[in-house]
Amino acid sequence: MRRWLCFIVVFLSMPVASSQSVELLHWWTSSGEEAAFSVVTDVFEGLPETLESEPIVGGGGAPAKAILQAKAIAGTPPDIAQMEGPSIKSWAALGFLHELDEPSEYYHWDSTIYTEIQSIHKYKGAYVAIPINIHRLNWMWTNNEVLASNNIPLPTDWDSLVSALKALKKSGIQPLAMGDEPWQIVQMFENIAYGVGGADYYRRAFVNLDPTALNSTETLESLRRFREIANIVGSHLPKLTWNQATDALLEGEYAFQLTGDWALGEMIHQHGGLPEFIECTPFPSTDKGYIYNIDSLAFFKTSGNKTMDVSAVATALSSPDFLLEFSRKKGSIPALNNVSVDGLNRCQQQSFKDFNQARKAGRAIPSFIDSMAVNPTIQNAVSKELHRYFLDSSISSSVFISHLNAINIERVR
């Protein structure tokens, strides 16, 4: 009996042969996004590490980014985190990120990652994050059945879009699937501003924050149009997350949604593919172009006795097969130029074609609102002003512009 007891005690105190768990913090929490995330989970099936998903709810990732910061300050960053744009360099400059030499050499990133998006993934000459996919923001999603049953043609420019929204409202149909979250609202401004001033104005105003462009007639006209939409949809927007808005568009409760192609991922998942009755057209603009953001994964240097094989995990999460499968479900296009999109749906193929045309014409522009163009402090400050302007019709365009100028002065101080 005693011998048995000893055996049990020794057995229980033996180290358990467990695999290393890898925490991945991200904001892919809608059902379509979860479906795309399952492709990440599949990659880990072939690795010795065990994936521990840490999803943080919140479209556009503001809460996830705040939690990432808090965890890093507390000395407990996740092993891997979803990131966007210039913040990648900031995290690398603070010494948090692993360099990803192995995947970058193995997959020839210097020639396979689109040139526009290479530098945001590099710090001091080394790649420090994997670009997973390219999302387009300047889309207009239309439920054709809703338009057809109200005898409204598909809008092709700003004026016809406004007429369609007004006509639908008059017939008691909710025109625009949009919730009250600031991120959803201000995305529309970005599309409007691009539509008014084109790539050159957009780049000067919202990438370089050039005071002359910010104080221009294009900004005034963009604000006028933004207010025009506010007057149509009203300031009491429903409590809808972006994906609930997409679901409602699919159900025919709304006619349009103006958001990025994460909505397409949601449609693919909910409908088992892109529905025939959904039309994807670029948001009306005088200048054909493409506003993009990139989902990237960065690997944190974590303390303790973790032994994750960073190079092996990063290489597995950079393979063209993985990138294609992820985008197939996410509604995006792969971030590498050597991955064929032939098997993707019509909207993704159009996205690919438009992205490449826009690149050639110098009209592929990083999203200001979705953290691709400027640092998060400026982005948040401008987003807050835009949100306030949309909801409060007593704020004049000159007051709004004076606030933008004040933010800009703070920036260069």
Contacts with ligand BGC by CB under 6 A lie at 27, 33, 59-61, 135, 262, 293, 295, 370
Residue 77 makes CB contacts below 8 A (sequence gap 6+) with 68, 71, 96, 300, 302
The residue number whose beta carbon is nearest to ligand BGC equals 262
**Residue with smaller CB distance to ligand BGC, 201 or 290:** 290
Smallest gap, in angstroms, from Cβ of residue 348 to ligand BGC? 14
- When the beta carbons of 247 and 295 are compared against ligand BGC, the nearer one is 295
**Distance of alpha carbon 349 from alpha carbon 264, whole angstroms:** 12
CB 410 within 8 A of CB 382: no
Closest contact distance (angstroms) between CB of 245 and ligand BGC is 11
Contact between 408 and 379 (Cβ < 8 Å): no
Report the C-alpha gap between 375 and 130 in whole angstroms: 19
Q: Tell me whether residue 140 or residue 401 sits nearer to ligand BGC (CB atom).
A: 140
Tell me how far, at minimum, the Cβ of 371 lies from ligand BGC, in Å: 7
Between the alpha carbon of residue 413 and those of residues 87, 214, 383, 406, 407, the distances in Å are 20, 18, 20, 11, 10
Angle (nearest 5°) at CA 139 between 134 and 141: 125
Estimate to the nearest angstrom the gap between the alpha carbon of 184 and the chain centroid. 11
> At its nearest, how many Å lie between ligand BGC and the CB of residue 350?
19
**What is the C-alpha separation between 294 and 83, in angstroms, rounded?**
8
What is the nearest approach in angstroms of ligand BGC to the Cβ of residue 25? Answer: 13
CB of 164 to ligand BGC, least distance (A): 26
Of 49 and 370, which has the nearer Cβ to ligand BGC? 370
Q: Residue 155 or 182: which CB sits closer to ligand BGC?
A: 182
Closest to ligand BGC by CB, 214 or 250: 250
Neighbours of 312 (CB within 10 A): 14
Please answer whether residues 323 and 335 qualify as being in contact, where contact means their C-beta atoms are separated by less than 8 angstroms: yes
